[in-house]
Structure 1
Amino acid sequence: MMKIPNTAVKKELQTRLNRIEGQVRGVQKMLDDDRECQEIVQQLTAVRSAVHNARLQFMRTYTRDCLLQGAELSEMERTELVDDLMNLIAKVE
């Protein structure tokens, strides 16, 4: 397995995840405060969208940094990485 070498991308993903964590805490507070169901559903939809966008960004980076930059990898190793990526995509779609 390969790891993402780009620290700027890691930092951006961490920022997104921190924001998502705050959104989830916000939903918990909304429940504690007995907010309207529609407001809670709207916030949960926003959380789902944020997670989806973070996943897309990460997968784009994974493809670019791990698959395309893996020139030192054999064809078999690159094929395995592509298969791994496709399996990941299949799990979340």
Structure 2
Amino acid sequence: MDSTTAGAAHGYTQDKDAYLKRLRRIEGQVRGLARMVEGDEYCIDILTQVSAATKALQSLSLGLLEQHLHHCVADAISAGGSEADLKVKEASEAIARLVRS
């Protein structure tokens, strides 16, 4: 967390419980992957589960990004000034990271 977001309400706050539930589900998927590797499961079965966990993380990321755009970026643009430019730049960089991953 940087100094511009310390103590601020975040766009995902209202859905925090749902995000935590999804993260716990993803955590379980990853633990399951470890068990599959430990158990010498078939490669394709493991890759199928890796794909499912990856899609779950991507979905979570897109939800967070959407809420960031609607809340943090929109609020900063409404306020104007350098904060608006900073939030747009942050969002653009986050999108670029997601596209590369």
TM-score normalised to structure 1 length: 0.87
**Is the aligned partner of 1:87 residue 2:87?**
no
Aligned positions, number: 93
Q: CA RMSD in A?
A: 1.8
Deviation per residue, 1:62-87 (Å, 9 max, x gap) = 11111123466333211210011101
TM-score normalised to structure 2 length: 0.81
Task: Percent identity, please.
Answer: 27
In the alignment, the residues of structure 1 paired with residue 14 and residue 39 of structure 2 have an alpha-carbon distance, to the nearest angstrom, of 37
Higher relative contact order (CA 8 A, sep 6+): 1
In the alignment, the residues of structure 2 paired with residue 55 and residue 48 of structure 1 have an alpha-carbon distance, to the nearest angstrom, of 10
Q: Residues 60 and 66 of structure 1: is their aligned pair in 2 closer, same or farther, counting only changes over 3 Å?
A: same
Secondary structure class of the residue paired with 1:69: helix
Residue identity in the other structure for 1:91: R
Q: What residue number does 1:37 align with? A: 43
Show structure 2 runs of 5+ residues with no match: none
In the alignment, the residues of structure 2 paired with residue 76 and residue 7 of structure 1 have an alpha-carbon distance, to the nearest angstrom, of 25
